[in-house]
Chains A and B, each alone.
Chain A
């Protein structure tokens, strides 16, 4: 009986190899499904509390008025856009170097999540920039590098799906992810290195955050809530991807079985 491993190459399977091939995914799935209800519940609670604090229990800004409420969705989504890309860089490196079977799958599952966070970041940023800066867009260092981040996500997804052989797609997209990793420090330090319209860091800087606690609380709640949302979606999407590969294995096995009986 022929088997297809995650890379799509066919290989005769001994019982032990079969077990090895699926042991990791099965172990992962068991672990992931155990976590899923907790991480989902945490997401609801944290984002719910975050929204409450963002609108009902925090003041308008002295200078920015009520537009500061956009900060509570713009900044967390920006943080998550970068966090997700860092996650993809690590997963891609692990997949390329140690060839861990789950690594590329986790990167593939995370990419659309990151793209969505980046999209939210850019659009909420524009909607905040128009009343505050007077412009929807400006080609300053931070905005441009976040736009590049969006293109990196889309490129990663496209490259991973561009090959018939899933293994080549994984490898190509992983390499793209690693090369694009240089963009992360550029985004982070762009406001320090260049004269940008986007304001410099107020939270993640040396010393105490220069944000009042009344605004820091909804910000942190939304950020942690978005993080748990990321992990919830990651588990869901990895389950889909693993199921998809097993479906392909089954289909391939059937085709071979039918071909052999002809």
Chain B
């Protein structure tokens, strides 16, 4: 039994070609005409689906970006410090103040 949705999705298999097996892999395949509008509208829920995914991309992308930036800055500074460190003094010459 095939159910059709107004936005072009077909549950159970392709609409026209009855020769193909109706496996679930064919579910959800967008039809060739009018797909950009359909994608934007998301069956009337476009105003919810796209901001949801957009926020996820922004937040997680922002986290990735910030983490990478911090890591590069700190490691750069560390190599700078390690290559220009002051000459080490021997332990038996260290000051009386100790630790």
Give chain A's interface residues, CB within 8 Å of chain B: 1-2, 10-12, 55-60, 62, 65-67, 69-70, 73-74, 77, 112-113, 116-117, 119-120, 123-124, 127-128, 130-131, 212-214, 229, 233, 236-237, 239-240, 243-244, 246-247, 250-251, 253-254, 257-258, 260
List A contacts of B51 (CB < 8 A): 127
Please tell me if the beta carbons of A237 and B27 are within 8 angstroms of each other in the complex.
Answer: no
| Known A59-B28, A123-B55, A229-B60; contact A1-B42, beta-carbon cutoff 8 A | no
List B contacts of A131 (CB < 8 A): 45, 48
Shortest C-beta distance, A171 to chain B (Å), equals 22
Q: A74-B52, A117-B60, A130-B48 are in contact. List 19 more A-B contacts (CB 8 A).
A: A11-B99, A58-B27, A60-B28, A62-B11, A65-B43, A73-B53, A112-B63, A120-B55, A127-B51, A131-B45, A212-B24, A214-B24, A233-B67, A236-B67, A237-B71, A239-B71, A240-B70, A250-B85, A254-B85
List B contacts of A236 (CB < 8 A): 67-68, 71
List A contacts of B3 (CB < 8 A): 62
A240 interface neighbour in B28, B71, B94, B98, Cβ under 8 Å: B71
Please tell me if the beta carbons of B86 and A254 are within 8 angstroms of each other in the complex.
Answer: yes
List B contacts of A119 (CB < 8 A): 59
List A contacts of B2 (CB < 8 A): none
List A contacts of B94 (CB < 8 A): 1, 260
Shortest C-beta distance, A2 to chain B (Å), equals 5
Shortest C-beta distance, B24 to chain A (Å), equals 5
| Known A236-B71, A239-B75, A250-B85; contact A120-B59, beta-carbon cutoff 8 A | yes
Give chain B's interface residues, CB within 8 Å of chain A: 3, 5, 7, 9, 11, 24-25, 27-30, 39, 42-46, 48-49, 51-53, 55-56, 59-60, 62-64, 67-68, 70-71, 74-75, 77-78, 81-82, 85-86, 88-89, 91, 94-95, 97-99
Shortest C-beta distance, A118 to chain B (Å), equals 10
Please tell me if the beta carbons of B89 and A257 are within 8 angstroms of each other in the complex.
Answer: yes
Please tell me if the beta carbons of A65 and B45 are within 8 angstroms of each other in the complex.
Answer: yes
List B contacts of A257 (CB < 8 A): 86, 89
A-B contact pairs, 7 of them (CB 8 A): A66-B42, A113-B63, A214-B24, A239-B71, A240-B74, A243-B78, A260-B97
List A contacts of B29 (CB < 8 A): 56-57
Shortest C-beta distance, B49 to chain A (Å), equals 5
Please tell me if the beta carbons of B60 and A120 are within 8 angstroms of each other in the complex.
Answer: yes
Please tell me if the beta carbons of B52 and A243 are within 8 angstroms of each other in the complex.
Answer: no
- Bound-complex Cα distance A232 to B17 (A): 45
| Known A66-B45, A260-B95; contact A124-B68, beta-carbon cutoff 8 A | no
